[in-house]
């Protein structure tokens, strides 16, 4: 059960540090330009259709790596992908039984934490 909380906390920490790495709390900096422009347009118009504020974590991670010039390595990328998949299994597909080989989680955790440290 502790690993379920670790997976959720790690994914949230990773997303939070990625958004924070852009240097603003607004979140617009962490969005691709077209999406940020849609938000700005929605704020300025009298009755705007607001775009979804839902963050697509894989796209955010890729965009941040490209924009910030991070070279985290394929092993970290694989760990972040595995973390994202595990988190989705835990949070979105309940009451499905969740069973994995627990020996892989410490390695995933350490690699994601190394990426958070880099951010």
Domain ranges across the chain:
2-23+55-118
Q: What is the rounded distance in angstroms from the CA atom of residue 22 to the CA atom of residue 34? A: 17
Nearest C-alpha neighbor of 7 from the set 97, 94, 102: 102
Preceding peptide of 95 cis, ω within 30°: yes
DSSP letters, 48-113, are: --PPP----HHHHHHHHHHHHT----HHHHHHHHHHHHHHHHHHHSTTS-----GGGHHHHHHHHH
Q: How confident is the model at residue 100 (pLDDT cuts 50, 70, 90)?
A: low
Mean pLDDT of 72-99: 77
- Asked if residue 25 has pLDDT above 60, the reply is no
What pLDDT is stored for residue 3 in this prediction?
75
């Amino acid at each position: 059960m502790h690993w379920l909380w670790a997976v959720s906390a790690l994914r949230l920490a990773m997303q939070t540090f990625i958004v924070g790495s852009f240097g603003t709390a607004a979140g617009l900096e962490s969005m691709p330009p077209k999406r940020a422009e849609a938000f700005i347009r929605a704020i300025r118009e009298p009755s705007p259709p607001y775009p979804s504020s839902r963050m697509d974590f894989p796209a955010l991670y890729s965009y941040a790596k490209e924009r910030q010039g991070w070279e985290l390595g394929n092993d970290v990328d694989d760990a972040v992908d595995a973390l994202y998949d595990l988190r989705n299994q835990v949070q979105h597909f309940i009451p499905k039984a969740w069973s994995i080989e627990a020996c892989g989680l410490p390695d995933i955790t350490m690699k994601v934490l190394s990426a958070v440290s880099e951010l």
